[in-house]
Structure 1
Amino acid sequence: MTISNLTKRKTAPFRFDNVGSFLRPLRLKEARDAFAKGAIAEEELKSVEDAAIEELIEKQKEIGLKAITDGEFRRSWWHLDFMWGLQGVEKVYVDEGYKFADVETRAESARLTGKLGGSGHPFIEHFKFVNRFADAEVIARQTIPAPAQFLAELHRPDNREATEKFYPDEAELLEDIAAAYQTFIQELYAAGCRNLQLDDCTWGMIVDEEFWKDMNADFTVEDLSRKYVDLNNKAIAGSPEDLVITTHVCRGNYRSTWASSGAYDTVADVLFGEENVEGYYLEFDTERAGGFESLSKVSGDKVVVLGLFSSKLPELEDKEEIKGRIEEAAKYIDKDRLCISPQCGFASTEEGNDLTEREQWEKLELIRETAEEVFGK
């Protein structure tokens, strides 16, 4: 397929796209630290956040992104802050953080304090702020952790006792997670959102052989795949037709390290064939994600955003090599259903990856140039 007969995408995902988070500027980090120590008031922190987000949005527009976000600048984590904002959930400090290849994260988690609810979430106001800057050329995108990711958090050893206390019947837990998400989605839509991204590391976790060695479980990858896809689908069921819902899958992203390895093959039938999303942002920047063969399982006319560029490293990828990988992927899925992006955000947590803000924008500039040369402007 030549550039001339590739469709110019008018809705998300876009040919040149981004997963969501950006490196926090120093003044924002300092303000968050000062607020945590009680040195400044919440209003002062918000003022710094607002200014930093406005500047970030301008940069996103300048570089050509068609979906803008707040860079997750008001969050500490890509997932936990959302969970803490749900009714019936509290922030807790636990014995151990998440284990990554070269480091352990801060030891924080989300634990149940009662039955779940999703109304009045603080992210609604966060989205409204970003949506003020949407225009005829760009949309405002909201990113949140997938329902399956929340379930996995509640099943961490430190949290299991509380989870079973309030939900001795897991079927009721699954129903309430889905209902809380549905409430949030309805309120987010009413606030003007038309593009929601569900970030989901559960799939990267369950394809990892080391995960199963540590589990000693009486369930299989097929069992978990079915539970996760059913929960995700139930949570987004009944969403408005003009709300584009996508999902992002990776294998961990913390201070330029990773948490898991494994190809998509063992979950492809369920994840790519049955999850009711309109697009997948998929990690493909290293051999840890396997090959492209599983893309043949992507059902219907769903779009795949190839995460061929590393947000973990400052080094720029070879443009011609990337083009070759796009052509390789196109052997398994129509090239017209492909887009490109980094494999993950630049700062899934407030610590951020080990590169500079300048290097972050240079990386995105390369992705834009590559997308224009492959797919057209």
Structure 2
Amino acid sequence: MQEEVGLKAVTDGEARRSFWHYDFMGMLDGFDLVEREEGVQFAGVKLRPIFPTISGKLGFPDDHPMLVIFNKNDVDIYFMEYDTDRAGGLEPLKLLPKGAKRVMPGFVTIKTGELETLDDLKAKFDEASKYVDIDQLGIAPQCGFASTEEGNSITPDDQRRKLDLIVKVAEEVWGGV
């Protein structure tokens, strides 16, 4: 519908529906959506009585519908968040189709002002290049400089240092920005 009216930037209309993310999460192995009698009451709003529950080892099934969508999305660049070990391994990068599509793995965190090292970031790109061509990778901070509307506790000076480091990594890994 959005394309039909001539919009250039298309959003997932499902995001307008509450709990849309449970559609994805509910199909993961080891993750159940449990319906209870009542939802959590907040000031002025009561959530639906559906509670995400870890029921076993979390896994990503080979037949998850997102895998089909991932390769068919007509986007140029995927922005991912691999700034902590909690994000998981880099193996999913092998699903990126060869060609013009690119991925920004988000190795530079915006959650803290602590500066990554040049050597650590280069090592992460070496590891990522085992799964996808290095020229399909790029560098950007994880989630811009704010994951939420409230932002993060990261100073403008910290942001500047991280941006300077991003430029240095780009120069060393790809020969320039």
Aligned-pair CA distance for 1:284: 0.8
The aligned amino acid for 1:276 is D
Aligned equivalent of 2:17: 154
Paired with 2:104 and 2:27, the residues of 1 have a C-alpha distance of 22
Unmatched tracts of structure 2, length 5 or more: 36-57
Task: Name which structure has the greater RCO, CA cutoff 8 Å, separation 6+.
Answer: 1
The aligned amino acid for 1:319 is L
Paired with 1:147 and 1:211, the residues of 2 have a C-alpha distance of 29
Aligned equivalent of 1:293: 91
Unmatched tracts of structure 1, length 5 or more: 1-115, 122-141, 158-201, 217-261
- 1:316 equivalent to 2:115? Answer yes
Q: Is the 8 A contact 2:90 2:131 kept in 1?
A: yes
Measured at CA, do residues 309 and 375 of structure 1 come closer, stay the same or move farther in structure 2, by a change above 3 Å? Answer: same
Q: Is the 8 A contact 2:29 2:61 kept in 1?
A: no
Aligned equivalent of 2:32: 213
Aligned equivalent of 2:140: 341
Structural mapping, 1:127-166, within 5 Å: 147-148=11-12, 150-156=13-19
The aligned amino acid for 2:70 is F
Q: Is the 8 A contact 1:272 1:299 kept in 2?
A: no
**Corresponding residue SS for 1:295:** helix
Paired with 1:350 and 1:269, the residues of 2 have a C-alpha distance of 29
Aligned equivalent of 2:48: none
Cα deviation, 1:213-272, whole Å, max 9, x if unaligned, reads: 3355xxxxxxxxxxxxxxxxxxxxxxxxxxxxxxxxxxxxxxxxxxxxx78776563243
Paired with 1:272 and 1:211, the residues of 2 have a C-alpha distance of 22
Q: Would you say how many aligned residue pairs link Structure 1 and Structure 2?
A: 147
Aligned equivalent of 1:358: 157
Q: Is the 8 A contact 1:263 1:290 kept in 2?
A: no
The aligned amino acid for 1:304 is V
Q: 2:68 aligns with which of 267, 270, 295?
A: 270
